[in-house]
Amino acid sequence: MTDPLVMATVAHAKAMALLHGRAFAPRERWGADAIGLQLALPGAFGWIASAGGMILARVAADEAEVLTLAVDPTVQGHGLGRALLEQAMVTARQRGATAAFLEVASGNAPARALYAAASFAVVGRRNGYYPGGDDALVLRRPL
Ligand SMILES: CC(C)(COP(=O)(O)OP(=O)(O)OC[C@H]1O[C@@H](n2cnc3c(N)ncnc32)[C@H](O)[C@@H]1OP(=O)(O)O)[C@@H](O)C(=O)NCCC(=O)NCCS
């Protein structure tokens, strides 16, 4: 993965929403307004891969949370997800986070494999949290 990553500003909200919409089912898509609002929150940041991916995360005190991660299906499997996740972890560490958390659906095998390979471990479970019946797994990684 040699494509440069760009730090997102609120001005990127529309482009990020388009990327998000390509990766997620309609009912899970985040619009530009929602992404812009997230990016404007204290501690929030995002990164964009011009080849077709985006990540949004937030640091509060010494904890980081990955809010969403999306890679365009046409370029999945080429390292963009891993690069975006690792860049977000570097940013979170630089901003004082000592651990990162995220939530993933138990049935989302690609995302679970990515997070496991990136040293995230399951620390919690919300049974039947998602509309399709999947559990929500809470994952943590020390930074
Ligand atoms: C999850 C997602 C972001 C992964 O992005 P990606 O760019 O395809 O992932 P990468 O190419 O960087 O893969 C990194 C690692 O993740 C794992 N992985 C990624 N896709 C996988 C798949 N389809 N099956 C199994 N493992 C997979 C592998 O461990 C892979 O490492 P490897 O290539 O050395 O085997 C992407 O599939 C996506 O956008 N999915 C839809 C949205 C989503 O579910 N987001 C996460 C919500 S929590």
Digit-coded pLDDT (tens) for 94-135: 999 999 999 999 999 999 999 999 999 999 999 999 888 999
- Domains in the chain: boundaries: 5-142
Ligand 1 atom closest to 70 (CA): 39
Ligand 1 atom closest to 76 (CA): 8
- Max distance between CA atoms of the chain, in angstroms, equals 39
Cα(17)–Cα(67) distance, rounded to whole angstroms?
13
137 lines ligand 1 (CB under 6 A): no
Asked if 81 and 72 touch (Cβ cutoff 8 Å), the reply is: no
Catalytic residues: 103, 115
Digit-coded pLDDT (tens) for 18-68: 999 999 999 899 999 999 999 999 999 999 999 999 999 999 999 999 999
| Topology of the domain covering 5-142 | Aminopeptidase (3.40.630)
